[in-house]
Structure 1
Amino acid sequence: MDRRAFAASAAASLALAGCSAPSNKFQNYYGPRVTSVVVNKGARHMYLLNENDVLRKYKVDLGFAPLGHKRIEGDGKTPEGTYWINRRNPNSAFHLSLGISYPNAQDIARARALGKSPGGEIFIHGQPNILRDRSRAERLSDWTAGCIAVKNGEMEEIYAMVQNGTPIFLNA
């Protein structure tokens, strides 16, 4: 093989090697339906359930001041109580996210009685997309502003398994 043919062949091989398919963050799930999500804040675990059967268990990070129920915006607490998965964000700043229906009417009334906002935008989400923020999150536990964070691969699985309308129970 002459030099020119070899160089062309090598260049083509290198170009094709860089063309591997990107990983798809959107998975398919064909197993039993997730009928509820349970978060045990004290144990830092989240469970996906089908009726009474645990389908998956995950270690989670919570808000930066996780003890107690979220009362007002900025308190760093993860809510406690019964809510619903009410939205999906495929373009989240945190590698996919599932919205939680916080605040409910009681949360709003409690915060208003204090003259404050209850806050909102509580999600189950993956790690930050911005590298600087991701390295900070990897060093800390309970680093969110009140959300429930898992590893990115786990979030891809959760995003595929949990549908809008699924109840989520957040317990102390």
Structure 2
Amino acid sequence: MLRRGLILVSVALIAILGWGLWRSYGPRTPPPDLAAQVDRVDRILIEKSARRLTASRMGQTVLEFDIALGFAPVGDKAREGDGKTPEGLFKVDRRNQNSGYHLSLGLNYPRAKDIARAAEAGIDPGSDIFIHGQPNTLAGALVLPGDWTAGCIAISDTEMETLWRLVDLGTEVEIRP
């Protein structure tokens, strides 16, 4: 009788453990595709340290992409050629469908304070910071690994097509360290 009780308790414990593991590590129902449900995003957040781009509409995350940055991503952009992606608040100020990369959304860098800081140091602050896809010379769905841009934010071509559809001129872009 005692043995039967131990077996039942053991089976119950195994079942509970299995259920807990399944809930923690089993397949997840994918979240709804909110990017397909909205026609615009009003904010883009770039988190350099997490290598993540998050686009939102009215505070709700619509999409999230992994990113590549400038080849020397730590720190704020100071000068032309430093390989850094700038930090701070920006606006999308131009769209280029004929870019050397698969579509591109230009940011208003350098801002007045960037120009003043660079002038004081006697250096060129750089320019042409974009969110863009992969180089047009790559075939199809290839994505360059690592941080490879000159200071831009790069995503896959498919992701760029989605972002391109959702972003208007004037969209706020925050780039955090």
TM-score (norm 2): 0.76
- Other-structure match for 2:48: 41
SS in 2 for 1:58: strand
- How far the C-alpha of 1:35 sits from its partner, in A, is 1.1
- How far the C-alpha of 1:79 sits from its partner, in A, is 0.4
CA distance in structure 2 between the aligned counterparts of 1:117 and 1:32, rounded to whole angstroms: 38
SS in 1 for 2:165: helix
SS in 2 for 1:131: coil
RMSD: 1.9
CA distance in structure 2 between the aligned counterparts of 1:30 and 1:112, rounded to whole angstroms: 45
CA distance in structure 2 between the aligned counterparts of 1:159 and 1:32, rounded to whole angstroms: 11
- Other-structure match for 2:134: 127
Q: 1:78 aligns with which of 75, 85, 93?
A: 85
- How far the C-alpha of 1:82 sits from its partner, in A, is 0.2
**Identical columns (%):** 46
On the 8 A contact 1:32/1:50 being kept in 2, the answer is no
- Other-structure match for 1:106: 113
- Other-structure match for 1:94: 101
SS in 1 for 2:73: coil
Question: Residue deviations 1:47-72, cap 9 Å, x none?
Answer: 11112100000000000000010011
TM-score (norm 1): 0.78
Question: Residue deviations 1:32-59, cap 9 Å, x none?
Answer: 5311110000000001111210000000
- How far the C-alpha of 1:170 sits from its partner, in A, is 0.3
Q: 1:161 aligns with which of 156, 159, 166?
A: 166
- How far the C-alpha of 1:93 sits from its partner, in A, is 0.5
- How far the C-alpha of 1:31 sits from its partner, in A, is 1.2
- Other-structure match for 1:51: 58
Instruction: Flag structure 2 segments of 5+ consecutive residues without an equivalent.
Output: 1-35
Which consecutive segments of 4 or more residues in structure 1 shift more than 2 A? none
- How far the C-alpha of 1:30 sits from its partner, in A, is 6.2
- How far the C-alpha of 1:111 sits from its partner, in A, is 0.9
- How far the C-alpha of 1:128 sits from its partner, in A, is 0.2
Question: Residue deviations 1:59-104, cap 9 Å, x none?
Answer: 0000000001001100000000000000000011001000010100
Pair 1:151-2:156 in alignment:
yes
CA distance in structure 2 between the aligned counterparts of 1:30 and 1:163, rounded to whole angstroms: 16
- How far the C-alpha of 1:130 sits from its partner, in A, is 1.5
SS in 2 for 1:83: strand
CA distance in structure 2 between the aligned counterparts of 1:124 and 1:166, rounded to whole angstroms: 12
Structure 1 or 2, whichever has the larger Rg, is 2
- Other-structure match for 2:176: 171
